[in-house]
């Protein structure tokens, strides 16, 4: 409105026109204002286009459009190398079973079953057990070199891997597949013969296996992976239910109950109905019962080998409850990461969605004892109030920390009770609520799209609240276990289509869909498309993403800072700015270099105030920068509004100046800086610009 007002005051004829009445004058006025605004917007866009790009742009890639081309191997060590022996070996038995009415999908001609599988030429039945044993544990062309052994070796840095794999079977189960698959979620009475489905596959499978080998050898293995012919219901209930058919009444006979007198649909876990054929399949369980399309076996091993609980919510039932960790952790829907995303988990063998699960977040890596002592900088909330601001570098979690950096930072919510001072709210009203405020510490880590994190949707800084106790729901309706709670840099609805119904209706991703967290990461600098800081006012903490760096191997690390809102420490804070002398601008875009100096003085802090001795990380202050320019047609831009500088040291700050065609002959450029630890400590420097 200010632009419009100035334009009106500058045009006497326009003022006369405004005093007149009539349609013509209104139309002319509207056209004038539109032209004015369009010209201003075009000029802004033109100027912005000429400034350098952001230092750390957010580049969210949706799971649906990912392909195997998105995979980036880790530099250096190959964790699938069979010569690498893990510190703790894991013995796995793979037992394959099929059913009188359902052969192995992988034995059928390519793309021949109703689901469109298998994706490869058929495997003989007698070789199925060994095929899946190799597929899940060895690098193969068909699995693109990715397997669960490689996953756990990469996450544990060689501490844990699968050292023995024995294949057994195939065995023919005594009952049809639906006798085992209709035993849950209210499906029991939908059998073709009118019986009640209550069989459990594990019992009959193991009886056949033991009879074949002549003794009970289950104790010889750390886990038993029972691969059954057909599908995990978790990967087909949606795609071959409401995504495929207009309504449950439109399900054709071949997808329905073999008994024509029974409904062709069946209840399922999350929604009212799916096709009978999809719903009659078994739901994979952490007992290591998995269908041929299951890509979540690494997730199930998290349960089985490390007793890690599920993090996942119910994304489909109201009142909606936001996901906990979403695509960023194996124990949440990060287990679905892979080419094509969650709606491609029906593929046999599982080489699409769920083929490349996300890494483990700091909380789960700590639980598994995968992080060596000293690789995490451990701070306390009360300690920060005494010590002042802490600045440290953190390396991408897919690799070991680079020299002088950490795997992550944690901040304990210690001090007077309650530890987590987040005000309680009603999850039934607020779908973004983390529920019961009983979190114990914050974690900061870095995700880079390399290794098993290649199919994460972004690279950047991941901030989360965590609980010491891994079990216990978050209260309210549709409660679930959320011992990790990712802080979302973009809490607003991602507003993306989930799928399109056969009717043509677009179904949007619910606010509880895990992909709402695709854009959750924080980024350094201005205009990244994300945030560079997070303040938790009730818990009296502020976090900063100060800068980003990349080494010669392309590994990223971030400079991160955290401070208390209740104290800035004993250090003397100060700041000075020095501008260059008068500058004649010869190019349209010119970098202008200022010098920012930390004029404060360090102070020794009792190392006991933090769980880690943080003294060497108290040697910097963080400054907030802002720039302005006075002069018609002159513009100035900062790429980063934050800078961390050691006590007594200086750093160069680049301001980019853009002189438009027809600008005034002179302008004044001013840079300001203020200490985040003590905002009263400010500095300002100006210089004259000329053309």
**Nearest residue to 177 (alpha-carbon basis) of 285, 298, 258:** 258
Which pLDDT score, from 0 to 100, does residue 426 have?
94
Pairwise CA distance, residues 231 & 438, whole Å: 38
Residue 544 C-beta-side C-alpha neighbours within 13 Å: 26
CA dihedral 661, 664, 666, 672 (to 10 degrees): -80
Burial 26-58 (b: 16+ CB within 10 A, else e): eeebeebeeeeeeeeeeeeeebeeebeebbbeb
**Nearest residue to 229 (alpha-carbon basis) of 303, 297, 302, 280:** 280
Which pLDDT score, from 0 to 100, does residue 285 have?
75
Tell me the two tokens of residue 369.
């004892």
Q: In which element (H, E) is residue 23 found?
A: helix 23-50
**Nearest residue to 596 (alpha-carbon basis) of 559, 554, 530, 644:** 644
Q: Is 173 left (phi over 0), alpha (psi -120 to 50) or beta?
A: beta
Which pLDDT score, from 0 to 100, does residue 76 have?
87
Which pLDDT score, from 0 to 100, does residue 58 have?
98
Q: What percent of the chain has pLDDT over 90?
A: 89
| Contact residues for 616 (Cβ-Cβ < 8 A; gap 6+) | none
Tell me the two tokens of residue 377.
């900088």
Burial 582-607 (b: 16+ CB within 10 A, else e): ebebeeeeeebebebbbbbebeebee
Which pLDDT score, from 0 to 100, does residue 556 have?
98
pLDDT in tens, 109-168: 999 999 999 999 999 999 999 999 999 999 999 999 999 999 999 999 999 999 999 999
- Look at residue 208 and give its three-state secondary structure: helix
Q: Report the chain's mean pLDDT, rounded to a whole number.
A: 92
For residue 57, the Cα-to-chain-centroid distance in whole angstroms is 16
Which pLDDT score, from 0 to 100, does residue 691 have?
87
Which pLDDT score, from 0 to 100, does residue 38 have?
46
Cis, peptide link before residue 162, omega less than 30° from 0: no
* The pLDDT of residue 258 is above 80: yes
**pLDDT band at residue 10 using 50, 70 and 90 as cut-offs:** very low
Helices (H), 71-200: 128-137, 148-156, 177-181
Pairwise CA distance, residues 416 & 414, whole Å: 7
Spatial contact of 291 and 226, defined as CB atoms under 8 Å apart:
no
Pairwise CA distance, residues 177 & 173, whole Å: 8
Q: In which element (H, E) is residue 628 found?
A: strand 620-630
Give the chain's radius of gyration (CA, Å). Answer: 30
φ, ψ for residue 429 (rounded to 5)?
A: -100, -40
How far are the Cα atoms of 216, 243, 284, 378, 526 from residue 206, in angstroms, in the given order? 9, 36, 17, 47, 59
**pLDDT band at residue 13 using 50, 70 and 90 as cut-offs:** very low
Spatial contact of 335 and 298, defined as CB atoms under 8 Å apart:
yes
Bridge partners of residue 653, in order along the sequence? 594
Spatial contact of 409 and 392, defined as CB atoms under 8 Å apart:
yes
For residue 134, the Cα-to-chain-centroid distance in whole angstroms is 29
Mean per-residue pLDDT for 468-480?
Answer: 95
Pairwise CA distance, residues 599 & 576, whole Å: 7
How far are the Cα atoms of 8, 369, 491, 562 from residue 487, in angstroms, in the given order? 46, 24, 8, 15
pLDDT in tens, 184-221: 889 999 999 999 999 999 999 999 999 999 999 999 99
User: Furthest-apart CA pair in the chain: how many Å?
Assistant: 103
Pairwise CA distance, residues 683 & 595, whole Å: 11
Which pLDDT score, from 0 to 100, does residue 365 have?
98
* The pLDDT of residue 672 is above 50: yes
How far are the Cα atoms of 464, 586, 607, 621, 642 from residue 543, in angstroms, in the given order? 11, 40, 21, 13, 12
pLDDT in tens, 68-118: 999 999 998 899 998 999 999 999 999 999 999 999 999 999 999 999 999
Mean per-residue pLDDT for 261-278?
Answer: 95
Q: Could you tell me how many helices (H) and strands (E) the chain has, helices first?
A: 11, 26
Q: Is 2 left (phi over 0), alpha (psi -120 to 50) or beta?
A: alpha
Spatial contact of 560 and 393, defined as CB atoms under 8 Å apart:
yes
Q: Please classify residue 564 by burial: count the beta carbons closer than 10 Å to its beta carbon, then call 0-12 exposed, 13-18 middle and 19+ buried.
A: buried
Mean per-residue pLDDT for 476-487?
Answer: 96
Mean per-residue pLDDT for 20-24?
Answer: 43
Pairwise CA distance, residues 673 & 575, whole Å: 7
**pLDDT band at residue 39 using 50, 70 and 90 as cut-offs:** very low
Tell me the two tokens of residue 586.
């010869």
DSSP secondary structure of 46-97: HHHHHSPPPSS------GGG--GGG--PPSS--TT-TTPPPSEEEEEEEEEE
**pLDDT band at residue 564 using 50, 70 and 90 as cut-offs:** very high
φ, ψ for residue 673 (rounded to 5)?
A: -140, 140
Which pLDDT score, from 0 to 100, does residue 689 have?
95
- Look at residue 646 and give its three-state secondary structure: strand
- Say what the pTM is: 0.91
Burial 481-518 (b: 16+ CB within 10 A, else e): bbbbbbbbbbeeebeeebbeeeeeeeeebbbbbbbbbb
The size of the chain, in residues, is: 691
Which pLDDT score, from 0 to 100, does residue 270 have?
86
Mean per-residue pLDDT for 677-682?
Answer: 98
Tell me the two tokens of residue 89.
């070996």
* The pLDDT of residue 622 is above 70: yes
Pairwise CA distance, residues 307 & 261, whole Å: 44
Which pLDDT score, from 0 to 100, does residue 77 have?
87
- Look at residue 148 and give its three-state secondary structure: helix
Which pLDDT score, from 0 to 100, does residue 18 have?
41
């Amino acid at each position: 409105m200010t632009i419009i007002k100035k334009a009106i005051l500058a045009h006497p004829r326009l003022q006369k026109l405004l005093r007149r009445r009539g349609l013509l004058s209104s139309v002319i006025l509207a056209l004038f204002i539109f032209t004015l605004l369009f010209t201003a917007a075009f000029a802004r866009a033109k100027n912005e286009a000429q400034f350098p790009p952001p230092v750390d742009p957010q580049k969210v890639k949706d799971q649906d459009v990912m392909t195997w081309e998105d995979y980036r191997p880790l530099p250096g060590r190959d964790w699938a190398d069979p010569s690498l022996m893990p510190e703790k070996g894991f013995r796995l038995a793979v037992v394959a079973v099929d059913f009188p009415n359902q052969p192995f999908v992988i034995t059928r001609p390519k793309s021949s079953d109703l689901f469109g599988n298998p994706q490869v030429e058929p495997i003989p039945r007698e070789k199925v057990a060994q095929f899946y044993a190799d597929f899940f544990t060895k690098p193969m062309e068909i699995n693109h070199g990715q397997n669960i052994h490689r996953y756990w070796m990469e996450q544990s840095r060689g501490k844990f891997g699968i050292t023995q794999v024995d294949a057994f079977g195939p065995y023919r189960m005594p009952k049809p597949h639906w006798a085992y698959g209709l035993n849950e979620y209210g499906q029991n009475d939908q059998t073709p013969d009118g019986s009640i489905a209550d069989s459990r596959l594990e019992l009959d499978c193991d009886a056949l296996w033991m009879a074949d080998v002549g003794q009970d050898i289950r104790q010889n293995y750390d886990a038993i992976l029972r691969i059954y012919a057909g599908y995990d219901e978790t990967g087909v209930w949606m795609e071959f239910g409401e995504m495929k058919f207009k309504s449950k009444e439109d399900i054709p006979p071949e997808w329905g109950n073999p008994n024509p007198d029974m409904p062709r649909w069946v209840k399922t876990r999350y929604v009212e109905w799916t096709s009978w054929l999809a719903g009659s399949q078994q739901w994979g369980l952490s007992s290591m019962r998995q269908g041929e399309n299951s890509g979540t076996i690494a997730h199930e091993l998290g349960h089985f080998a490390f007793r890690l609980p599920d993090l996942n919510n119910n994304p489909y039932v109201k009142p909606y409850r936001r996901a906990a960790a979403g695509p960023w952790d194996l124990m949440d829907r990060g287990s679905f990461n892979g080419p094509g995303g969650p709606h491609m988990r029906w593929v046999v063998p599982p080489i699409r969605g769920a083929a490349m699960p996300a890494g483990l977040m700091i909380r789960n890596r700590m639980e598994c004892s995968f992080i060596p002592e000293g690789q995490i900088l451990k701070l306390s909330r009360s300690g920060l109030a005494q010590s002042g601001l802490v600045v440290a570098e953190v390396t991408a979690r897919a690799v070991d920390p680079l020299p002088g950096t950490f795997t992550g930072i944690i901040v304990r919510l210690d001090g007077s009770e309650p530890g987590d001072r987040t005000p309680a709210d009603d999850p039934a009203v607020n779908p973004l609520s983390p529920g019961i405020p009983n979190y114990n510490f914050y974690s900061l880590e870095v995700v880079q799209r390399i290794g098993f994190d290649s199919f994460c949707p972004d690279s950047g800084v991941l901030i989360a609240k965590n609980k010491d106790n891994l079990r216990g729901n978050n209260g309210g309706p549709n409660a679930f276990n959320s011992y990790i709670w990712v802080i979302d840099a973009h809490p607003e609805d991602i507003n993306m289509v989930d799928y399109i119904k056969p009717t043509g209706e677009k179904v949007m991703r619910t606010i509880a869909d895990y992909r709402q967290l695709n854009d959750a990461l924080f980024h350094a600098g201005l205009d990244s498309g994300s945030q560079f800081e997070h303040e938790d006012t009730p818990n009296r903490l502020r976090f900063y993403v100060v800068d980003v760096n990349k080494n010669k191997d392309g590994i990223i690390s971030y400079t991160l800072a955290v401070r208390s809102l209740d104290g800035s420490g004993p250090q003397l804070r100060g700041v000075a700015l020095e501008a260059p002398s008068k500058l004649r601008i010869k190019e349209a875009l010119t970098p202008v270099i200022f010098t920012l100096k930390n004029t404060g003085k360090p102070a020794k802090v009792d190392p006991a105030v933090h769980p880690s001795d943080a003294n060497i990380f108290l040697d910097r202050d963080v400054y907030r920068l802002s720039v302005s320019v006075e002069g018609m047609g002159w513009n100035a831009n900062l790429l980063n509004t934050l800078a961390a500088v050691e006590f007594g040291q200086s750093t160069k700050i680049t301001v980019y100046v853009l002189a438009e065609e027809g600008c005034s002959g002179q302008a004044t450029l001013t840079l300001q800086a203020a200490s985040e630890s003590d905002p009263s400590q400010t500095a300002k420097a100006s210089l004259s610009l000329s053309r």
